[in-house]
Amino acid sequence: MIAVPPAASGFSSLPTRLAILAMAIGSFGIGTGEFAIMGLLPNLAADLHISEPEAGHLISAYALGVVVGAPLFAVLFAKSARKPLMLWLMGLFALGNFGSAMAPDYGWLFALRFLAGLPHGAYFGIAALAAASLVEFGYRARAVGRVMLGLTIATLIGMPLATWLGQSLGWRPTFTAVGLIGVVTLVMIGRFVPQIRTAEGATPLRELGTLKRPQVWLTLGIGAVGCGGMFSVFTYVVPLLTEVAHVPMVWVPLVLALFGVGMTAGNIVGAAMADRALMPTIGGMLVFNVVSLAVIPWTAQFWASAALSVLLVGFTVAIGTALQTRLMDVAEDGQALAATLNHAAFNIGNALGALFGGLSIAAGFGWASTGPVGAVMALGGLGLFVASVMLDRKTARWRRPDLALSNVPEVISASL
């Protein structure tokens, strides 16, 4: 299979732009399907005759599908070409959502949400690799960022529209609409994404070999721990706004839209920064996360500053594209598994952030305490980043081609 050569100057080629747009539409559909259910829990609970906490388990079922499916598909389909694999994954996503729309009861819906989540991480990982392969090296992060832009736009446009549709016509038409976005993606990928070969000698065993690399685990840890702080705040942002900042409920959707604006801006800016200076971008964004989360107990006291905090917390997603690109560098010949695990790591961060934030609230520290909790998590991610940089420097010492044999003892001493 022949890979299409990169565009002459980043995104100047129309075929390249259309290919990335096709993959971004898939990201938009997946993001809409993932987030829309959060606004439909009351409808689901009433229609299925269950409690809202039980309806919330449907979100967990989807997240579990993401965590299971990401590594499973990356390993099983290690030899598969990128385009057919993306088509297969998007077909499974569409099937899971069409099935969800027809689920007769809670048990079936739970299973079908798990099914719909299975291709999530694998799709994003494979699409990121495909997009990066279509552009010059210096445009990789921006190519990945444009694919992920569909996900951030889903929080800004897709989720509100899907919630409105669900509240107007019911939750079943919402899942049908998400499934239709999957069908549109299938057509777009089939028409505009070129055939892209996998790496020579790719095998499931070689993909699994990437798990032996400490830098892969450190990068995944940065995503799971360092980015979990955002979810610590966002999970409980509505009561934070209404109970602490005293924002009237009628204005809450508008303030929440700022989160989507921040995510979209962060995706665009973070991708451009990562192409210019990858590791400084990761480190700088972790510091930004610590500060923007730590000040929430103070900023949450007033409308304007609370709205600004929501915008800034959304901007912290800027680190996502940088981490995805970093994994491409450290995974070497196991990129598919590493790329898909990045999204499993973010879902773990989602779960950890919600857990630790909830524990702080339950302990009586209040809704605003989720900010400092998130800041501590970001500090943990910063610690993992420092460890990654130190390991890079230590490895570089061993790889210096100008070292004479007589200098090896000094190098070993300096490394300890």
- Integer Cα distance of 218 and 415 in angstroms: 19
Q: Answer yes or no: do 32 and 155 share one domain.
A: yes
Q: Answer yes or no: do 162 and 271 share one domain.
A: no
Q: What confidence score (pLDDT) does residue 6 get?
A: 43
The residue-averaged pLDDT of 23-33 equals: 92
The residue-averaged pLDDT of 67-71 equals: 84
Q: Answer yes or no: do 186 and 281 share one domain.
A: no
Q: Confidence class of residue 200 from pLDDT cuts 50, 70 and 90?
A: low
When the pLDDT of each residue in the chain is averaged and rounded to a whole number, the result is 83
Q: Answer yes or no: do 180 and 266 share one domain.
A: no
Q: Answer yes or no: do 103 and 84 share one domain.
A: yes
Tokens of 404: 């004479």
pTM of the model: 0.77
* Residues 6+ away with beta carbon under 8 Å from 242: 248, 249, 252
Q: Is the pLDDT of residue 317 over 90?
A: no
Range of the domain at 275: 201-416
Considering its fold, how many domains does the chain have in total?
A: 2
Q: Given 150, 175, 198, which residue is the final one in a domain?
A: 198
The residue-averaged pLDDT of 316-342 equals: 81
Angle between helices 14-36 and 106-133 (to 10 degrees): 160
Proportion of the chain above pLDDT 70, given as a percent: 88
360, burial (CB in 10 Å: exposed 0-12, middle 13-18, buried 19+): buried
Q: Given 177, 198, 219, which residue is the final one in a domain?
A: 198
Q: What angle do CA 45, 60, 247 make, to 5 degrees?
A: 65
Tokens of 121: 């991480």
**Of 192 and 50, which is predicted with more confidence?**
192
Q: Is the pLDDT of residue 5 over 50?
A: no
- Integer Cα distance of 58 and 341 in angstroms: 22
Phi, then psi, of 365 in degrees rounded to 5: -85, -5
Q: Answer yes or no: do 338 and 357 share one domain.
A: yes
**Of 162 and 26, which is predicted with more confidence?**
26
Q: Answer yes or no: do 183 and 210 share one domain.
A: no
Give 214-231 pLDDT, tens digit per residue. Answer: 899 999 999 889 888 888
Q: Given 155, 176, 198, which residue is the final one in a domain?
A: 198
**Of 396 and 131, which is predicted with more confidence?**
131
Q: Answer yes or no: do 223 and 152 share one domain.
A: no
Q: In this predicted structure, which of 24-33, 76-85, 257-266, 357-366 has the lowest mean pLDDT? A: 76-85
